[in-house]
Structure 1
Amino acid sequence: MSNIANTVTSVRWTAIFPWLILVRAARVSLMVRVIGLAVVGVALTQGGWAIIDGLTIARDDAQLHQRLTDSAIDAQPGVEFGFDARHGFDLHAQVLGSPLVRGWSWASQSFGILFERGGNWPRWFGALLGGLWAIAVWALFGGAIARIAALYLTRGETVVPLAALKAAFVRWPSTAGAPVFALIAIFLLSLPLIFIGWTIRLDFFALLAGLLWFLILIGGVALAVLAIGLAIGWPLMWSTVAVERTDAFDGISRGYAYVYQRPLHLLFFVIVAGALGLLAQAAINLIVEGSIDATQWAVSSGAGELRSLELLEPGVAENRPSLGGMGLLGSKMMRFWTDALYWFAAAFPMAYLFPAATGIYLLMRRQIDAADLGDVTFDEGDPQRGLPTLANDPVTSVPHVVDPAATAAPHPPTAPAP
């Protein structure tokens, strides 16, 4: 039976609801290659922050930077398997905050410390170094993740980690330069206000500042506009470089424009991405915890409860004199790989942040610039589409692919030198 004319046989939902691209962004964040890049980036960031905190903060003070992996909580002794099942990343605890928000706030924490009131110079200096280190690390690893997301969301293509890192390295100055230039502008704009704050220590200048306070507030408004735009828009700046392959100034321009020109659209996309992030984080935690619990259950069934407790639980093997050197080494290796798997769940907020930001960037670009969701720039130019050119071999008559370089116009022969 033939279809009646003008009958709808299929619906292209992405054309009706473009924000469904954020579902594909969540799929990108679940790729092993993306989570692996995030794990390396988190490890490098936390290692650098630990060194910076040790150099700038007194030993008695609390650490300046919070570790993304400090959200681990120790569960009570497990009843099911007869030993303490260390759920380093409890499922319910981790899904209370969206990975989009947690990744953004964790990566931005250094600059939040810079704008604290009542701080001191060592703390501010440590926060500045920590922020610059985070920019340096994530301009590479976050840029690689954003590039993977950009090609997948626009062309459906996948990129291996090394190729993504190479692409991010090529544009590293642009990626890192976007927030750095914005920070320099904020600092220059704040210098007059800092000078005014230094002068009002004297009563005369306090009176003069009071008379002109409305002008000072205007400067504060401009400073707030720059700071808020940077705080919200820096992931969009990096997505700009990943998609458009342009310079830092284009990233700054688009980042601020997309934050302030369509704030309600941006808020809606962030809410949708945050909700999808909760589901993605729950899936990662379920896989990680399920894998570890299944392994521990199966191993304990063969090794016995006491032996499993000695080998698998942290701090138990070291307090067991009966455990030999090889057994102690084996226990440490088991716990090392268990912790490595836990890190996949811990680093997931950073694995989700950049694909979600790239998806939001594509949606905002469509709203403001009327660009197609599939538009993306390649470093070497757009790939050639269609089938390659074929030609018959003059001897065997078998078709073969023609080398494009061979079809180019030959250079005229040069006359031999006299």
Structure 2
Amino acid sequence: MADGRAPISTTGDRPASWMEIFRCFQVALDPRKLLVAAAGILVMSFLWWLLSVIFISKAPEPSEPQYQNSTIQRELGDKKKPDGSGYTEADFTQIAAERYSTDFEEWRVLDALAGPGGRLRNMPWYEYRGPNPFLFVTDVISGTAQDRAAAITGFVSGSVPVLVEPLVKMLIPVAKLISPGVNFKTRLYLFLILLANVAVWAFCAGVITRIAAVQLANKGPISLKQAVRFVAQRYTAYLGAPLVPLVIIFACVVGLVVYGLVGLIPVVGDLVVFGLGLPVLIVGGAVMAVFLVGLVGYPLMYCTLSAEGDQSDTFDALSRSINYVYQSPWHYIWYWLVAIFYGAAVTLFVLFFCSLTVYVGKWAAGLTASTVWTDRKPEYLFIYAPESFGWKELLTKDSPYAVRGHWQRAEGNPSGREVYVYDPVNRATYDQARKEFYAYNTWGAGIVCFWLTLMFLMMLGFSYSFFWTAATVIYFLMRKKVDEAELDEVFLDEEEPVVPPAPPKLAEGTGATPAPATSLPVITAPVVPPVAPPVPVPPPPLPPIPVVDVSPPVPPPATIPFTPPAPEPKVFDAPKPIDAPKPDDDKPVA
């Protein structure tokens, strides 16, 4: 008789619910994913810094020859104004001023990105990301009303964008690339930044999504080596998937640029190119718009290749990412909204937990020095701590090495751009304490800086790990919605065997009764390895059976059947009559 209990459901039996996104936190905490994400952040930041150093130049000066009236006059020559009058000295001055203003604004855009302290030049441990989460919580709980207002304002403006940093880092080059007021040099710089971004995360995101896909589908363990080999064998597909739409957009831009050159011809441009030929511009713009909007599904490209394996390629990944976005846009938007808000919450928790871990560990280790030898308090070992997230401010607080962050104008920068810097709270005390440093103090601070930077990168890598893990879950959900594929369908290599699920535990009381304990020692015979049975020797082949000529049997001679004589009939005598009893006889008849 059935016990009425439902069978245990597998991943493929569960509905494609957006609640699957809440599995991302535990999956994203995998140390392997954090390490890969930290490596990706480090390599990406170095490439961005290198490109920034190459492309940045000094600001234009009004005294340069191209902004002088004589240069403008020589360039104009005998040209006249549209009204037929000639150019005057005042006109030359105005043209030179407009040229300088245009060049300076274009340089200022590049400087904000690639200049010292620029958004794409800072290394991750120097980038401003708002106040420290631990200090933010303590200020909100125990601070004054003014402290609470300042803490909340700084957190919203600085830390909230960091909670979705992977998405922000990906969109900054794209947004600036298509913005007006950007010259060719800046566009080339942004295009190379975008290529560096794609080249790095094609590998790192591929490894993260591969591990996440196997784990989310419950297909057994997968090692980091297996994931790296999987992505390395298909790196061309990972690299090409996001580049194909960019190449198509670039081809459309080049074609429209050539079309625009023809439009410069008088009469032809007015009547033919931009008049009758306006639909050409609309079609080209529509093609670019389709792929630009389709880039919203860019994270799904890596997830497609990681989940489908040899069953997918560059164009399949591109097709799926665009089709899923256009066929079910509201589901896609809803899934990402849930992932972003949930990811922001858990990322804030991770940032707070890591900051609390470092601070409490330093505080507990310094209690002994506080009572025995105050000059040996460990704050001096944190002078090289990462500045981002206020770690340096937190770890040197209330010490001669204490620092405080503030905004100030970039030194020697004519654009007036402000950068966030950390200066000592008391410059004289700080300088005096640094003069007393020995060589081993500096080396010790450097070693501490190494471990803190590694922990900082892994903490920062959690947001990237969560982002790509969430993208993997969203890919499974969109595939279930559009293609009706199960959530646990993942391509496995031959070296990745499927591990069967563990058998269910026995209910209480159904197990075997344990044997009663005994006071006598139990001697267990030594385990003898089993002897392999001898290999049986095959029997020799049987000799061939001789062929015998068998003749048909000879019938026996006919015989006369024997008939026994009939027995003689027996003659029986008639029975004798019995005498009747006498009437006077008292005895009964015998």
TM-score using structure 2 length: 0.58
Closer/same/farther in 2, CA of residues 148 and 386 from structure 1, 3 Å limit: closer
Letter in 2 for 1:62: A
- Distance in 1 between residues matched to 2:45 and 2:378, nearest whole Å: 31
| TM-superposed deviation, 1:12 | 8.9
Task: Name the aligned partner's letter for residue 311 of structure 1.
Answer: L
8 A contact 2:34–2:458 mirrored in 1:
yes
Which of the residues 379, 382, 391 maps onto 1:309?
Answer: 379
More displaced stretch, 103-112 vs 14-23:
14-23
Aligned match for 2:112, one of 62, 74, 81: 62
Aligned position for 1:197: 260
The CA distance in 2 between the partners of 1:59 and 1:237, in whole Å, is 40
Shift of 1:137: 1.2
Letter of the structure 1 residue corresponding to residue 381 of structure 2: L
Aligned to 1:44: 43
Q: Equivalences for 1:246-285 in 2 at 5 Å?
A: 246-285=312-351
The equivalent of 2:302 in structure 1 is: 238
Partner of 1:309: helix, strand, or coil? helix
Distance (Å, rounded) in 1 between the aligned partners of 2:460 and 2:186: 26
Q: C-alpha deviations, 1:155-184, integer Å up to 9, x for none?
A: 253333232222111111111111112211
Q: 2:214, 2:221 within 8 Å by CA — same for their partners in 1?
A: yes
- Are residues 98 and 261 of structure 1, via their aligned partners in 2, closer, same or farther at CA, if it must alter by over 3 Å? farther
Which residue is 2:21 aligned to? 22
1:375 equivalent in structure 2: 489
Q: 1:187 and 1:353, CA in 2 relative to 1: closer, same or farther beyond 3 A?
A: same
Asked whether 1:72 is paired with 2:138, we answer: no
> Matches of 2:381 and 2:49 in 1, distance apart?
29
Aligned in 2, Cα 1:116/1:335: closer, same or farther, shift over 3 Å?
same
Q: How does 1:15-414 map to 2 (within 5 A)?
A: 15-16=14-15, 18-59=17-58, 61-64=111-114, 66=120, 69=125, 70-73=127-130, 96-97=160-161, 99=163, 101-204=164-267, 205-208=269-272, 209-230=274-295, 232-245=296-309, 246-304=312-370, 307-314=377-384, 316=401, 320-380=434-494, 383=497, 395-396=531-532
For normalisation by structure 1, the TM-score amounts to 0.80
Identical aligned residues as a percent = 25
Structure 2: give runs of 5+ residues left out of the alignment: 60-110, 139-153, 385-391, 393-400, 402-429, 502-528, 534-590
Cα drift, residue 326 of structure 1: 0.4
- Partners of 1:91 and 1:282 within 8 A in 2: no
Distance in 2 (CA, whole Å) between partners of 1:76 and 1:286 is 5
- Higher RCO structure (Cα 8 Å, ≥6 apart): 1
Query: 1:108 offset after TM fit, Å?
Result: 3.9
Q: Secondary structure at the match of 2:221?
A: coil
* Cα shift at 1:313: 3.3
C-alpha contact 1:144 1:168 (8 A) present in aligned 2: yes
Name the structure with the higher helix share. Answer: 1
One-letter amino acid of the counterpart of residue 37, structure 2? A
SS in 1 for 2:435: coil
Task: Give unpaired runs (5+ residues) of structure 1.
Answer: 81-89, 388-392, 398-418
Deviates more, 1:235-244 or 1:156-165: 156-165
Question: Aligned partners of 2:457, 2:263: CA distance in 1, in Å?
Answer: 50
Match of 2:389 in 1: none
CA 1:114/1:95 → structure 2, altered by over 3 Å: closer, same or farther?
closer
Mapped contact 1:37–1:161 kept (Cα < 8 A): no
Residues 57 and 126 in structure 1, CA contact (< 8 A), matched pair in contact too = no
| 1:302 Cα offset (Å) | 2.1
Deviates more, 1:314-323 or 1:264-273: 314-323
Count, aligned residues: 381
Deviation (angstroms), 1:107: 2.8
What's the offset of the Cα at 1:348?
2.5
CA RMSD of superposed structures (Å): 3.4
| Alpha-carbon distance, 1:123 to partner | 1.4
Which stretch of the first structure deviates more once superposed, 167-176 or 376-385? 376-385
Give a deviation string over 1:271-309, Cα, whole Å, max 9, x none.
111122123202311221111111121122123365333
